[in-house]
Structure formats: C-alpha cells, structure tokens
A and B are shown apart, each in its own frame.
Chain A
Amino acid sequence: MQPDTFFRRRRLQSLLFFVVILSVTYGSIVLTQFDVVRGLLAVPQAFAWAVVNFIPDERAWSRLPNILSKLQETVLVAIASSTIAAVLGLGLALFGANTTRPHPWFSLPARAIASVFRNIDVSVWALILLFSFGQSGFTGFFALFFVTLGFITRVMIETIDEVGVEPIEALRATGASYGAIISQSVIPSCLPQLISWLLYMIETNIRSATLVGILTGTGIGFLFDLYFKNFNYGSASLVVLVTVAAVLLIETVSNAIRRIIL
C-alpha cells in the first residue's frame, strides 16, 4: 500500500468516526430535549450555590446520630444481600460451569436465570417488588440480591471454567466423589476470586441501595430525599459527606484485602 493512501484512509476513518459520534450525540440531544446552554450554565451555578448553601450547619450536626444509623441500615442491607447472593451464586455457577455441571442440561438454565436476574436493573426490580413488599427493607434487600446473584453467577462460571478441568480430573482419578471434588478443589481455588467480586458488589450495592432507598423510602437515600425536598440543604450535604466517607472507607478496606488474598 502506498504510504500516501494509507494515511488518507486513516484520516478518512477517523473523520467518519467523529461524524458518527457527532450525529449520535446530536440525535440524543434532540430526543432527550437537553437544553445545552442551560446545562452548561447550570454547572458553575450549582457549585456556586453549593459553596454557600450545601454545607453542614449546626442543625445538621445535631442530626448526625440519626444519619449514621440510617447509613448503617443501608450498608448492612448491601452487605447482607451481596453475601447471601454470593453463596447462592456460587452454587448456581457450579451448575452453569462447563467443568462442574452435574449434567450438560443444567448449564443453559443456570446461565439463563443469571442473565435475566442481572440484566433487569436494580431499580426495575425494586419497582416490581414494591407491589409485594411495600416500603419495607425487604424490597431493597431482594432487589439488590437478585442483581448480585445474576452477576456473581456469571463471574463465577468464568472463574470456575478458567481454573480448568485438570484438578477435577486428578481428583476424580483418585476416586473422589462429586461433593469431595467441589469442596476440596473447586471451591478453595475459586474462593479468593469470589471474595474479591463480593467486595466489588458490596461497593456497588451501597450506591445502588441509596438509589433504591429513594424509591422505597428506606435508608440513607430516603433521608437525603427527605432533607432535600424540605430545602434542608445543610443536613442533605452531611448525608452526602457521610455516604462518601463510607464508600471510600469500604473501597480502601476491600482494596487492601484484595491485595493480600489475590
């Protein structure tokens, strides 16, 4: 190829790429009725407003115990739903993975169930579960549980298949039963990965739980919504600060754990 045509073609390709991106962006702006000028102006306005109004005041600090107890509720729901989902997800993954499934017919249903669970967004699950569980902690718990179950199953299927068939065949050759193979070989070799993904899901679920809390009227999300809609911005800002501190703390702890176990 002539160097001249090579560069011309590359330039044409990148030009085409930007034209596509630009038209898609323009289409999205029209479709979502996004007011670009108002959007651009709003960013400095919002931060200028925040510097003056979005700061914890006396009243906010006096509410700190209440805020912390709601935060604890949200964090605990995130941890409980993720942990239970991780255990069951590992079980479902054993049915779905190519190397550990008891029978080839188990694989597809296990993968399909996991796919439906994780591809329906957590907010959608919450909206469906509101019908039966109402504004109780169960709505958020099950919404987070379903999505996490689907996700953990998928990543654990990948992990189990990556470990490969050799250790399983070695154990089978010694006459080990299915249960012994799973508990002595598959689970120990997958456990560090499982914990790592579980910690990742806990981080994600704390943020999702905040969102679900706004829909179901529970936890820290509800508290933020309440303060915010009553123009109690000082307290709302404290909620944000406390949430950020919790998320960053959990992120730091899980990164430390991950560095040691992986």
Chain B
Amino acid sequence: MEASLPSRRIRLRPRNRANTVLQVTLITLVLLTAYGLVTLDTRNIDVFAALGNMFNDFRIVFLEARLERLSWFELFRELMITVGLGLLTTVTGGIIAFFLSLFAAQNLTPRQVTDTVKALMAFIRAVPTVLWVLFFAVTTGLGSVAAILGMTFHSISYLVKAYAETFEELDSGILEALRASGANWWQTVFQAVVPSTASALLSWTFVRFEINFSVAIAMGATAGAGGIGFDMFMASAFYLDLRELGVFTYAVLIFAILLEWTATRLKETVGIKRPV
C-alpha cells in the first residue's frame, strides 16, 4: 500500500500564472523593503531612544492636550477654514470634472478624444498636490489662492477618472433607447446619463471631499494655505508645543472620523467599492 502513495507532498495550490505573479510580487516587495530599511537616512539617531521619546510624545499629545495660544472659538474658525478649503476645491473641481468626464467616457465620446483626456488627467494626477500648489505659488505667491488652484487641479484629475468610469458602467440600452428616439447628445447626457448616475457621482464627490480635507491640513502645514494645518505647523516647528498640537490633532481626528463615517454610509447605499 505504501508504494502507491505519492512520494512527494500533494501540491495544495496550483502552479498557475496568478500564483506565480503573486509570489514574485511578494518577494520583490520584501527585498525592496529590506533594501529600503538598510539604506534609510538615519542621520545617526539612536532609534530605540527615539522610539521611547515617541511614546512619551504620544502620551503628551493625547493625554495632556490643551490650548495655549488660541481660544476655542479661534480653533473652531481655523478648522472651518480648512473645511472651507476642502469644500471649495471639491465643488469647483467637481463641476469642472463633470464636463471633462463626459469627454473621457468611452460610451459618450469617440475613442481618440477619451484617450487624450484620460492621458492628460493621468499626468495631472501623478503630480503630487503639494507640487501643484507650489507651482501656482510662483505667480500668486504662497497662500490660499495657490493652495486652492493646486488642490482643484488634483481634484479634477481624480474626479474625471471616477466620473468617467461611472459613466462607462452605464447600461448601454439606456443610451441606445434615447439615441433611437432622436435625442441629441446633450439630451442624452442630461435625461439619461445624469439621472441614472447622480447618486454615484455625489458619493465620489464626497469621497474626494474627505481626501481634500486632509490635503487642506497638509497644505496649511507645507504651503501656507492657512487653517488648522498652519497652526499645527507653527505649534510643531515654531513653538515646539506638543500639548497644543494635541488639541489640533483631536480636532482633525474627530472631524475625519465623522467624514469617514458619512462616506461609508454613502458608499454602502451606492455600492462603491474600489478606490481610484
């Protein structure tokens, strides 16, 4: 009986293309990670001492948070400026992206046009938002104008991709029915495309607002956009005040959790799963 058993172990996972690629990807990432850790620019700091300091800093930030230079009202105003930056760039970006995405959806526009628009958007998206903001700062100076332009640019490229993919998932029967009844292009868009995708578009726009809120914090810290990000930068780099930084951290944390909660509910009702 022994002889009839296979001598090697039974292969549990088939050796197919997907598994091979999966393994190669994993091994490559592990090797790159090891290389990245070895070559990390440590500036000769003692990692274990720094880690100890980090936990102590976390304790101060989260347990001893208190306001020093700002009043609660000012904190609220600064937070609202950051929210305003996020809202303004999302709304402006969304409106422009809506019209551009009509020319990026393959079921609405010829292939040559959509390929061009999509390539342009991929380029804009690949440039980090902060570089867009600094780019516009050359002509406007650092401040809210440059930040809003840069953030709007990046929002447009993100939303065009999201909107266009939403349009492309549209049932082709709806479009054919309208075209067959003699509707022109704009009528097709506003009587069929927009009504059947409106909730998905809104949901994507909200997802981008969630992103833009955190981008607005980052732009306040790095590109002088104002709002709570700038106060955090001042507390960290200028006043070296972890306690006040703690209050700001709580403020953005609570707001971000609220946004995430709303976005999750929205995504559940519309059924969006993948990210852009």
Contact = CB atoms under 8 A, between A and B. Distances in A.
A210 B87 CA distance: 24
A116 B221 contact: no
Contacts of B130: 210-211, 214, 221
Given A28-B87, A38-B145, A135-B43, A215 B126 contact: no
Interface in B25-43: 25-26, 29-30, 32-33, 35-37, 39-43
A221 B221 CA distance: 14
A107 B44 CA distance: 39
B135 interface: yes
B84 A27 contact: yes
Contact of B232 (A45, A46, A127): A127
Contact of B260 (A31, A42, A83, A119): A119
Interface residues of A, number: 78
Interface stretch (B49-57, B66-74, B179-187): B49-57
20 contacts: A33-B226, A38-B145, A39-B148, A42-B136, A42-B145, A43-B136, A76-B39, A80-B33, A115-B257, A128-B242, A132-B50, A132-B57, A137-B43, A142-B54, A199-B25, A210-B131, A215-B222, A243-B131, A251-B126, A261-B25
Interface of B: 12-13, 17-18, 21-22, 25-26, 29-30, 32-33, 35-37, 39-43, 45, 47, 50-51, 53-54, 56-58, 61, 80-81, 83-85, 87-88, 91-92, 122-123, 126-131, 134-136, 138-140, 144-146, 148-149, 214, 217-218, 221-222, 226-227, 229, 232-233, 235-237, 240, 242, 245, 248-249, 252-253, 256-257, 260, 275
Interface of A: 21, 24-25, 27-29, 31-35, 38-39, 42-43, 45-46, 49-50, 54, 73, 76-77, 79-80, 83-84, 115-116, 119-124, 127-138, 141-142, 184, 188, 191-192, 195, 198-200, 207-208, 210-211, 214-215, 218, 221, 224-225, 228, 233, 240, 243-244, 247-248, 251, 257, 260-261
